[in-house]
Structures are given as C-alpha cells and as structure tokens.
Amino acid sequence: MRVTEQRRLAALEAELARLKAEIASVGLVSPGSVVRRFMPCGKPGCRCQGDPPQLHGPYWQWSHKVDGKTITRRLTPDQAGLYQQWIANRRRIDQLLARMEQVSSQAAEILLRDAEAARPRRFRRPPEPSSSASIISGGSN
C-alpha cells in the first residue's frame, strides 16, 4: 500500500471513529412527525364556522407508522417539544449512518485494491486430456 493510501485510510478510520462517537452521544430517538393543527368543531354557530373561520387549537399531534398503519396521538405542548427533539435525533442518526456508509465505501476501495495487489498471480494450467480423448486418438487400453 502506498503512503498516500495509508494516510487516506488513516483519515477515513479517524472519521469513522468520530461518527461512531457522535452516534453514541445522541439521546432518545423516535420515528414519525409532529404537527400543530387548528381544526373546526362542527357545532353550528361556533366561531370556527364563521367567515372568516376562527379555528380551535393549536392541537399537537404525533404520527408514525406501525405495521404499515399510521398511528396518531394527541400531545401536550411539552410532549410535542420532546417528540420534536427525539425525531430530530432520529434524523441526525440517519445522516450519520449515511456518512458512515460513504466513509466505509471509500475505505473498502482502498483495502480491496491493496488486497488485489498483494494477491499472488496464478497461471492457468492447460486442461489435462480426458480418458475419452486417448481412446479416440487410439491410445492404449
């Protein structure tokens, strides 16, 4: 392995170690999304039915998928803040993993290229004649 490749590999390994440490420092994670909604109630004569409507809310909701179904849960404002942080942590981990894949791919190229260069070359032997060939050519029985 050339010196430049050794330096590049060392830099990639250092980057991988930094990414691992950053992942380890991330707190709680959660999938999904948090939304703030304003909604009408449906009662005749309510302010939400007026022109312009003055909708009720805000209502905080957390939605995520479980076995292909969307699950929605109402939250308090404090709970919504926590879920927003946990969802941001999840997205950060996804970004870090994507970067780890890039770094690993670059390191793999160097390591595989080095392994290929270090592998001894073998020469192919010509195939040995089969027993049927000797019969056809008049070989001894």
The per-residue pLDDT for 116 is 78
H runs (alpha helix) in 1-141: 3-25, 77-118, 131-136
On average, the pLDDT of the chain sits at 89
Question: Residue 106 is encoded by which pair of tokens?
Answer: 């670059």
pLDDT tens column, 3-15: 888 999 999 999 9
The per-residue pLDDT for 137 is 53
pTM of the prediction? Answer: 0.72
pLDDT tens column, 52-93: 999 999 999 999 999 999 999 999 999 999 999 999 999 999
Domain boundary assignment for the chain: 7-115
pLDDT tens column, 24-37: 999 999 999 999 99
Alpha carbons 137 and 139: distance in angstroms, whole number: 6
Count of alpha carbons within 13 angstroms of residue 83, beta-carbon side? 20
Count of alpha carbons within 13 angstroms of residue 5, beta-carbon side? 13
Hey, how many other C-beta atoms are within 10 angstroms of the C-beta on 75? 19
The per-residue pLDDT for 132 is 58
Residue 64 parent element (H or E)? strand 56-66
